[in-house]
Chain A
């Protein structure tokens, strides 16, 4: 890495603005707004304005932050920020089709583990708040995590096998490039079950409606978030929105990667911008299919049913895909 001024500025730009912080935050909150709007429309409601997540975020910034008596102050306040940081850094690993911060080489396993950081931050923060409701909430969050991790890893392995063949390939950049030349993975029949499984994994990862057992506000008073108020809560809400974007972007890269306009209009900033727009459009569709639609038509799972669902139906779909890919389909 060349630490000249221009280079440093470029890196700073990448971290803070384009694939990094600002882009993720803006698109994440945008997707969250779209999700709420779509759910409302599907329930025959008008729904909040698209800016609503922004209002929520800003409002929470303006509220008091109360650190409860039983809480461990340092951990309690640091936890949301750790999750936020993890997400921002993770965003740098996800390429916007061709364009990414770290030379297009996001590693799938690294991503898988970075994805756990926000969840762990939520868990540790909830645990540090000292509330018994949070205790139940973190238990559920953890079980949810155990549930979706199994299908997720099988999906990633199927994709890796499809792209890498008989070589080890965990690089997201490589997966995108492969799709650029061989067509989107979504159109390979062997990976369709995996794609469906991934659509079901996203809502659990983000924690939206039928899979939000951890934050069930009607049962366990928002679970881990119970004692949070003010800015830390705002950051947690922001984390959820960012996760929404990151998961859908990951989906896009895994199954619809390589849709680059650079070949049509020539490489350069317009092509990157156009790519970003296309990516956001795909993200909206994925948000609709995986989060809004499921949210609108289902009621919350019980935790044991959630676990069973993921380890049988979703993992079964993913494993089917893995087996199909393995034997050369």
Chain B
């Protein structure tokens, strides 16, 4: 048994040596363990689906090298360095959380290797960088979408905004929402909480006295779920509105019936894909993982395809050329819509609004830029 194993590995070694020239290495720097491991795992699933559908480019096999950043900022920088320097990848799909992308991005920038973040929505991530891109829209846009939706679709005139003061994501999003909502003529009250808080009764008691038409919580799902429960217990029956951080099956598991009526802005809805490739993605994902893909999975999928497309257009696997090609992506058909990357490395595309209805994430509408 042992001998066969050794033989096998020797053969594989030879095979890989022979075909080694025929591969393109792409690094994947995700949080696979630690606090936000769930995001990393979901996104990686999407990347894997893309790889299984489109395994090659320029006649070469695409090899993914996954590195875990342990949801830790120091490691986020280390893994990018490791992928570039140790694994010699040509491009990186990576870093989910914006703070991680900022740490990793400066390394990619220095090494002139393109890094494409699937889900970092903070505007600062790509700011002033030539090798950092993203496959998702940015927070100002998401905040704008939320404000438009709240004002036009929910007919809300008074909103209470709950800001998670710990999360830059939440602070940024709340800021952009407030700016646009007030500009449209709405009235805003602010409340604050922090990640890890489990009791929101004080803020909610105060908030409900303002009789809001909508409560906007641009935070992450654990707190949104708990907040929804406690708000319902305090008698609030109106809608919640959240950002893409709300999207996780745990929202419903923790929140139960209380999260019905939570609207959130997102990148994608598996029930209503915009594009043909989106349908293909949903079908393949369901086949591989026996469940509906999340928005993060779709973004992971698109990141892979965007990179593959850029390599194809560049006609080369040189990092510099891939980066240049990425920058000229125009109207690319991805699972989350038609994607254009602007000169700053940001993606311009439509956003969807979903709602939790009977414990299911249900599509509501699409809002275009």
- Do A and B pair up? The answer is no
User: Which B positions have Cβ atoms within 8 angstroms of A?
Assistant: none
